[in-house]
């Protein structure tokens, strides 16, 4: 054993090399460490999907916990016909849908905090990004989340699975249990609506800037 | 092509075959409407990248590794049987030893009026065990499965009747042994009560002796 390596580290390294299918098989046989590894691998994408669907961090956290618990309990029922990640996405989307139905409201549009320039300076993604760029990025993020929240659920889900989760058309069709052509239509329609809304917003901002500049001069 | 939006979407997401891609590119070269459409879709995809997710810690409390559980199933059945017999023998020997060591007197308190039975010693238990095993062996040797054949067939009712009889015999034997065990426990209870009486008498004797010591030889009335 290498110096400074604990026995558990080697086991964890070993699990990190395993495929999802192998980890699922081990977890089904009772290996809880294998399931922990699956969670570690998929927690971020699942959280991102839940957050973008629900719009609020605390709700997304609850849904993620619930999704993994349900996945763990349902491991024996998972036949491996779909990818583990697709199965997990399906569980998460169902939970989000239940949550929205239970709360009887549309997804929340959470405007990112931190409009204070000092906070923004701390929150810069990279040293090369200026505060102005960061402000613009935050505003665009809020505009996108608002525009997405206004889309019909089918279009919003298709766009999220394609753009943010990187699934193929076929994977989305399997996950949503709909024809391939429907997925493409939903994507096209959703993107077209988003495009119009975001272009209108940009036009309004440009108009506002021009008015500000003219009143100042 | 202008009416086939699906093909534009496939092209934008690069999920089309090479011939399809060449066909779309050839069309875009000629059609400003579709060119504009493709440009718009690419821009909105770029805008979508701005929607980020806040950083967050893990929401999952990892499962603790399972404790190493000692399972009865890992122990061979013969070892379990031996352990059970040993435990029972130790208990029985304790009862017998108590019975032998404590002197009996006619005036002792008797809790139960149960009829006197021979002591349930390990030897007796061993004999009972041997008898039971002997019976099972005899019955198994006596039992011959009905040979299967095209004309004879398997007489299932006879086999079931034999099996049922064996199960009943086992149950009767089991009941008898449970009754023996109950009686044994009752006798232990009697012995305990008798020992408690003896201890009380001893305590009374000690108290009397203390009084004698305090008051002198003629002080005790």
The answer, for B40 touching chain A at a CB cutoff of 8 Å, is: yes
Kindly determine whether residue A137 and residue B50, on different chains, have CB atoms separated by under 8 Å.
Answer: yes
Average pLDDT across chain B, whole number: 75
* Distance from C-alpha of A50 to C-alpha of B187, rounded to nearest angstrom: 70
Contact A54, A108 (CB under 8 A): yes
In this prediction, residue B152 carries a pLDDT of 43
Which parts of chain A sit beneath pLDDT 70? 1-13, 104-129, 217
Q: State whether B6 and A33 contact (CB < 8 Å).
A: no
High-pLDDT (> 70) share of chain A, %: 82
| pLDDT tens, residue by residue, A75-120 | 988 888 889 999 999 999 999 999 988 876 656 655 554 445 445 4
B100 contacts chain A (CB < 8 A): no
Sign of CA dihedral B105, B110, B116, B119: negative
Q: Is it the case that residue B45 has pLDDT exceeding 70?
A: yes
Closest by CA to B180, choosing from B105, B121, B113, B103, is B121
Q: Which of A57, A65, A144 sits opposite B60 (nearest CB)?
A: A65
**Phi and psi based region of residue A35 (left: phi greater than 0; alpha: psi -120 to 50; beta: remaining):** alpha
List chain A residues with CB under 8 Å of B51. 52, 140-141, 144-145, 148, 164
| d(C-alpha A141, C-alpha A111), whole Å | 8
Q: Is B138 helix (H, G, I), strand (E, B) or coil?
A: helix
Q: How far apart are CA B111 and CA A180, in angstroms?
A: 86
Q: How many CA atoms lie within 13 A of B151 on its CB side?
A: 0
| Interface predicted TM-score (ipTM) | 0.79
Q: What is the Cα–Cα distance from B43 to A201, expressed in whole angstroms? A: 14
Is the CB of residue B53 less than 8 Å away from at least one CB of chain A? Answer: yes
Decide if A30 touches B, using CB distance below 8 A: yes
Query: Which residues in chain B are contacts of A185 at CB distance < 8 A?
Result: 5-6
Instruction: Quick: pLDDT tens for B7-33.
Output: 899 999 999 999 999 999 999 999 999
Question: Alpha-carbon distance A165 to A168, whole Å?
Answer: 9
Whether B139 and B170 have beta carbons less than 8 Å apart is answered as no
DSSP label at residue B217: T
Question: Higher pLDDT residue, B192 or A10?
Answer: B192
Q: What's the pLDDT at B200?
A: 85
Residues A206 and B139: their CA atoms lie apart, in Å, by 101
CB A23 within 8 A of CB A37: yes
């Amino acid at each position: 054993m290498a110096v400074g390596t604990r026995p558990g580290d080697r086991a964890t390294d070993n699990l990190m090399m395993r495929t999802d299918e192998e980890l699922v098989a081990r977890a089904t046989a009772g290996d809880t460490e294998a399931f922990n590894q699956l969670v570690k691998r998929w927690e971020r994408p699942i959280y991102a999907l839940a957050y973008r669907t629900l719009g609020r961090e605390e709700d997304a956290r609850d849904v993620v916990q619930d999704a993994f618990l349900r996945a763990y309990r349902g491991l024996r029922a998972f036949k491996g016909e779909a990818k583990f990640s697709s199965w997990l996405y399906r569980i998460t989307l169902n939970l989000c849908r239940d949550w929205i139905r239970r709360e009887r409201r549309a997804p929340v549009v959470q405007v990112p905090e931190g409009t204070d320039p000092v906070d923004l300076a701390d929150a810069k993604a990279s040293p090369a990004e200026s505060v102005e760029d960061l402000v613009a990025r935050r505003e665009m993020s809020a505009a996108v989340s608002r525009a997405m929240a206004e889309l019909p659920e089918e279009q919003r889900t298709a766009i999220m699975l394609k753009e943010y989760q990187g699934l193929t058309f076929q994977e989305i069709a399997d996950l949503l249990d709909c024809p391939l052509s429907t997925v493409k239509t939903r994507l096209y329609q959703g993107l077209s609506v988003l495009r119009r809304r975001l272009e209108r917003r940009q036009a309004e901002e440009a108009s506002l800037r021009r008015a500000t500049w003219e009143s100042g001069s | 092509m202008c009416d086939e939006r699906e093909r534009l979407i496939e092209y934008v997401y690069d999920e089309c075959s090479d011939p399809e891609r060449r066909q779309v590119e050839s069309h875009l070269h000629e059609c400003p409407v579709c060119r504009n459409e493709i440009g718009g879709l690419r821009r909105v995809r770029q805008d979508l990248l701005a929607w980020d997710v806040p950083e967050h810690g893990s929401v999952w409390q990892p499962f603790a590794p399972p404790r190493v559980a000692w399972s009865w199933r890992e122990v061979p059945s013969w070892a379990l049987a031996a352990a059970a017999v040993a435990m029972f023998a130790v208990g029985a020997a304790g009862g017998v030893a108590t019975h032998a060591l404590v002197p009996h007197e006619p005036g002792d308190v008797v809790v139960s009026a149960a009829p006197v039975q021979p002591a349930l010693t390990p030897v007796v238990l061993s004999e009972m065990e041997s008898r039971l095993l002997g019976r099972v062996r005899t019955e198994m040797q006596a039992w011959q499965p009905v040979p299967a054949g095209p004309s004879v067939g398997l007489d299932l009712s006879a086999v079931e009747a034999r099996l049922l009889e064996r199960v009943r015999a086992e149950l009767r034997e089991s009941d008898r042994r449970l009754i023996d065990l109950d009686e044994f426990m009752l006798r232990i209870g009697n012995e305990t009560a008798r020992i408690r009486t003896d201890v009380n008498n001893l305590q009374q004797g000690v108290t009397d002796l203390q009084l004698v010591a305090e008051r002198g030889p003629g002080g005790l009335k």
